[in-house]
């Protein structure tokens, strides 16, 4: 019985380390929504306590050709203070040039393509695959 517990003390930390390494190199990341610009889809900091700062699981590996209207992506958007990485919904417009995407915030107060126009696909940094509340 003692050997079982001694082995468990070694095996559990090794398993945890292995999971951390796999997640770190798998192309997935976790981010917290930093603003309320995507409410009610995603709650950000400053939202009601029940949903303050939803966590997002984002994959860095995706095909641009697979992105569709309605997909949530992390994108670097231009702001008066410089470029900011945030989450926006793809909302293609009929006149959007090939290779460029039109992005929309869920709330009317969010900065999106209504202010800066369509952005190139190279500004998309990841695709949201899960929202953790």
Q: Domain segments of the chain: what residues?
A: 2-132
- Smallest CA-to-CA distance from 123 within 97, 80, 86 is with 86
Q: Is 78 exposed, middle or buried (0-12, 13-18, 19+ CB in 10 A)?
A: middle
Query: What is the predicted pLDDT for the residue at 3?
Result: 54
Q: What pLDDT sits at residue 8?
A: 63
Query: Which residue ranges in the chain fall short of pLDDT 50?
Result: 1, 4
Q: Is this model's pTM higher than 0.85 or not?
A: no
Sign of CA dihedral 120, 96, 112, 35: negative
pLDDT at residue 71 in the model: 95
Q: What's the CATH code, domain 2-132? A: 2.10.109.10
For residue 126, the model assigns a pLDDT of 94
How many Cβ atoms sit within 10 Å of the Cβ of residue 48? 9
């Amino acid at each position: 019985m003692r050997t079982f517990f001694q082995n468990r003390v070694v095996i559990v930390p090794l398993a945890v380390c292995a999971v951390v390494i796999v997640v770190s190199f798998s192309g997935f990341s976790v981010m917290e929504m930093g603003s309320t610009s995507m409410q009610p889809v995603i709650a950000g900091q400053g939202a009601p306590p029940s949903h303050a700062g939803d966590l997002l699981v984002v994959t860095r590996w995706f095909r641009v050709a697979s992105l569709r209207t309605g997909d949530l992506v992390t994108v670097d958007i231009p702001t008066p203070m410089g470029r900011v990485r945030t989450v926006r919904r793809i909302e293609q417009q009929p006149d959007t040039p090939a290779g460029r995407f039109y992005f929309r915030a869920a709330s009317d107060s969010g900065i999106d393509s209504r202010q800066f126009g369509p952005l190139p696909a190279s500004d998309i940094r990841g695709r949201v695959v899960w929202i953790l509340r």
